[in-house]
Amino acid sequence: MGVKNLWDILESCKKILPLHHLQNKRVCIDLSCWMVQLQNVNRTHCAMTSKLYLQCLFHRLRALIALNCSLIFVSDGSIPSIKLSAYRRRLNVGSEVNAEETNPKIVSSLRRNMGSEFSCMIKEAKSLGKALGIPCLDGVEEAEAQCALLNSESLCDACFTSDSDAFLFGARTVYRDICLGEGGYVVCYEMADIERNLGFGRNSLITLAVLLGSDYSQGVYGLGQESACQIVKSVGDSAVLHRIALEGISFAQKPKVSKKKARSLSANHERDANGADSNFQKNTEFMEVINAYLKPKCHPPDSDAVYRVLAIYPFNRHQLQQICAQFFDWPPEKTDEYILPKIAERDLRRYASLRSTSSNLGVKVSMDEMPVKCPISSIIKQRKLQGRDCFEVSWEEVHGLNASVVPADLVERACPEKIVEFQERKAQGKKRNHCVSRPKKLGNMPSAEEIDLKLQKLLLDIENESKTTRGASLSGRSKLEKTSALIQADLAIQELHLEDKLEKEADSVTTTGCKSVAPGPGGTEVIDLMSPLPVSAPSSTRQGANVECIDLIELSESETEISPDHARKARDLRLFIASIKDD
C-alpha cells in the first residue's frame, strides 16, 4: 500500500514515458508488487491453475530484455514488527496486536509463510527469471526498501514498485506501472520533480506518512491530505522531523475550541513542547515510524549479496524450454520463437552501447577492430512494421536463430557498415537487372532448320486438307501450286519479275487459244492460273504456230473455292514469313 493518498498527492509529478526510455538501464523490481498485479489479472480472467500471471510476467520480461534493460528481482524478507498490525489486517486475521509483538526490542520481525499460495508464485517467478538470466536478491525485510537503497546508491537507475513509500526509503526514480504492446509506456515519478514542483523532500514525505497513515502508522484521525500538505509545507522539509521529535503531532491537531481559549491553549502547548517527559513518551511511537523509514534493514551496498546480483548472468535456453513446457505446455519451438529474437536484439543493443561508449570517449574503432564480434551477419532486406522502418537481418550464432526483424535505427547505431554493404549489394543487383535485355514479344529468333520444319509442316497440312476436298487431282495440284506461288512471291523479288514476264507472254498469244509456257528458274514451268481464259482459235492457226499448247481444264465454281480453314492457315503462313523478314 505505502502511504495513504500519496499517489494522489504526487499526481502532478507523474510522467508517461515511452517504453524505449528503459533502454540500456539497470532496474530493480519489487517482485511482490508485480506478482500482486498479475495475480489480480489472473483472477479476473481465468483460474489460477492456468498460470496466466506467469505468462504475463514472461512477456513483460522479454520486452524489457529486448531493450537491454538489466533487471534485478528483489523479494520481501521478514515482516517488520512495526508492520504486523497492517499485515494482519490485510490477511483478515484481525487488527488486534499485542504491544509486545510490535515492540522492536522484543520482536524484530516475523518470518513469512513460505508455503502459501503467494509464496509459491514468487518461487515460480524466480525460476523463470533465473532461466532468463535475471538474478534475485532476497531482501532482509521490505523489498521496496532494498530497491530504494540500491537506487539511492546509484547501483541501479530506477526501481519498479507500486508502493509509494519507496520515496520514504530514499528512492530517486520509481516506475509505478508498465504497459506493453504498440505504444507501450511506463509511469514514472522522480524525486527531483517532487522537490521542485511540490516542495516535498524525503522528510516531508515521512511526515505525511505519520499524519495520513501508512503501513507503519494509523495516522491522525480526521486529517485530510490537503490539510496535511499545508501543515508540512508551513513547517518546512528541514525542520519537520525535528518538530515531531519535540512535539509529536500535536502541532497538526486542531481541536475545536472557542476563540477566547485558543490563545491560552497555544501558550500551554508551547510550554509542554519544551521538553516535558510525558510528551516524549507519548511521541515514541512516531519516532519508531520515522526510524523505520530512515534506517530500514537492508543488505548494505558493499555486501556480497549485492555484488552477486550486479553481475551479468547468461540466458539458459534449455532450462527456459523446460519451464515453459511445464507451466504453459509450450513446445521448444514456440519458446524459441518468443524469446530468441529478443535475446538477439538485446545482444545487438549491447554491441551498439559498447561502440557508443568508445565513441564518446574519443576512441573511434571500426567494426573489425571491436573486441566483440558483431552479432549481425548481413542485412537481408528492408521491412516496415507498424509504420516503423526495420531491417530483416541474419544472425551470427545466436542460439540457432537464423533471421529476425530489428529496428533500422538500432542497426544504424550498432553497425552502419552493414547498411552500406547492403545498399551497395542492392545497387549492384539493380544494375545487373538493367543490363539484361528484355525478351521480345515473339520470342527468340528461330533457326533456319526450325523455319524449314515449320514450313514443311504447314505445307503438309495444306496438302492433306486439299486431298479431302472435291475435285480431280489436277484441281488439288493447281491449289497446291497456287499456294506455293504465293509463298515464293513473298520470299523472292525474282518471282515478281517472273510474273511480269508471264503476263507479257499471255498478252502475245491471245489468238492461239493456248498459253505459252516458259521454263522458270532452274527449269521449272510456271503456269499463271490467275489470268483469264484465252479465246479458242482455229486449228489451222494452232498448227501454223510454233507454240507449245497445253489444254486447260475448266474448273467449276466449287472446285476453285478455298476452304476457310485453308485460307486461315495460308494467312498464318504469310504472317509468319513476314515476321521473319522483319526480324
Spatial CA neighbour of 355 closest among 287, 431, 414, 272: 414
Which is higher by pLDDT, 423 or 490? Answer: 423
Which positions ≥6 away from 377 have C-beta within 8 Å? 393, 394, 395, 396
Spatial CA neighbour of 132 closest among 315, 341, 311, 400: 315
Alpha-carbon torsion, ordered 264, 269, 270, 275, to 10 deg: 150
Q: Identity (one letter) of the amino acid at 521?
A: P
Spatial CA neighbour of 51 closest among 336, 315, 324: 324
The SS3 of residue 56 is helix
Answer whether residue 139 shows pLDDT above 90: yes
Q: Residue 488's pLDDT is what?
A: 56
DSSP state letter for 519: B
- Return the number of other C-beta atoms located less than 10 Å from residue 285's C-beta: 16
Per the CB < 8 A criterion, the answer to whether 402 and 421 are in contact is no
Average pLDDT estimate for 157-184: 93
Q: Residue 337's pLDDT is what?
A: 95
| End-to-end Cα distance, the chain | 89
Spatial CA neighbour of 541 closest among 511, 504, 516: 511
Which is higher by pLDDT, 565 or 76? Answer: 76
Q: d(Cα 362, Cα 312) in Å, to the nearest integer? A: 26
At 157, list the grid cell: 537507475
Q: Residue 327's pLDDT is what?
A: 93
Q: Residue 454's pLDDT is what?
A: 74
Per the CB < 8 A criterion, the answer to whether 526 and 485 are in contact is yes
Answer whether residue 329 shows pLDDT above 90: yes
Average pLDDT score, the chain: 78
* Residues forming a β-bridge with 189: 174
Which is higher by pLDDT, 500 or 222? Answer: 222
| Model confidence band, residue 359 (pLDDT cutoffs 50, 70, 90) | confident
Spatial CA neighbour of 64 closest among 101, 113, 111, 20: 20
Answer whether residue 270 shows pLDDT above 80: no
| DSSP labels, 399-459 | TTEEEEEEEHHHHHHH-HHHHHHHHHHHHHHHHHHHHSPPPPTT-SPPPHHHHHHHHHHHH
| Model confidence band, residue 428 (pLDDT cutoffs 50, 70, 90) | confident
Q: Identity (one letter) of the amino acid at 47?
A: A
Spatial CA neighbour of 23 closest among 64, 76, 53: 64
- Return the number of other C-beta atoms located less than 10 Å from residue 293's C-beta: 25
Helix (H) or strand (E) holding 398: strand 388-398
297: Cα separation from own chain's centroid: 43
At 467, list the grid cell: 486431298
Q: Residue 89's pLDDT is what?
A: 67
Which is higher by pLDDT, 547 or 277? Answer: 277
As a residue count, the chain comes to 583
526: Cα separation from own chain's centroid: 81
Answer whether residue 322 shows pLDDT above 60: yes
Which positions ≥6 away from 51 have C-beta within 8 Å? 42, 124, 327, 328
- H-type helices in 236-331, by residue range? 240-247, 259-273, 277-282, 284-294, 304-309, 317-328
Average pLDDT estimate for 384-404: 91
Q: Residue 46's pLDDT is what?
A: 62
Average pLDDT estimate for 29-45: 85
Alpha-carbon torsion, ordered 116, 141, 188, 48, to 10 deg: 0
24: Cα separation from own chain's centroid: 18
Integer CA distances (angstroms), 201 to 140, 195, 198, 244, 336, in order: 26, 6, 9, 16, 47
Which positions ≥6 away from 194 have C-beta within 8 Å? 10, 13, 167, 200, 205
Q: Residue 574's pLDDT is what?
A: 76
Instruction: Find cell 500551554 and name the residue.
Output: 268
> Model pTM?
0.69
Instruction: Find cell 497555544 and name the residue.
Output: 266
- Return the number of other C-beta atoms located less than 10 Å from residue 228's C-beta: 23
Q: Residue 553's pLDDT is what?
A: 46
Average pLDDT estimate for 75-92: 79
At 369, list the grid cell: 577492430
- 166: exposed, middle or buried (Cβ count in 10 Å: 0-12, 13-18, 19+): buried
Which positions ≥6 away from 250 have C-beta within 8 Å? 269, 272, 273, 279
The SS3 of residue 394 is strand
- Mean pLDDT highest for which of 147-156, 363-372, 429-438, 548-557? 147-156
**Tens digits of per-residue pLDDT, 497-518?**
555 556 665 555 444 444 444 4
* Residues forming a β-bridge with 190: 173
Q: d(Cα 378, Cα 401) in Å, to the nearest integer? A: 13
DSSP state letter for 59: H
Q: Residue 513's pLDDT is what?
A: 44
| DSSP labels, 499-517 | HHHHHHHHHHTTTTSS---
Average pLDDT estimate for 453-469: 71
Which is higher by pLDDT, 511 or 437? Answer: 437
DSSP state letter for 10: T
Spatial CA neighbour of 376 closest among 390, 395, 392: 395
Per the CB < 8 A criterion, the answer to whether 251 and 242 are in contact is no
Q: Residue 108's pLDDT is what?
A: 57
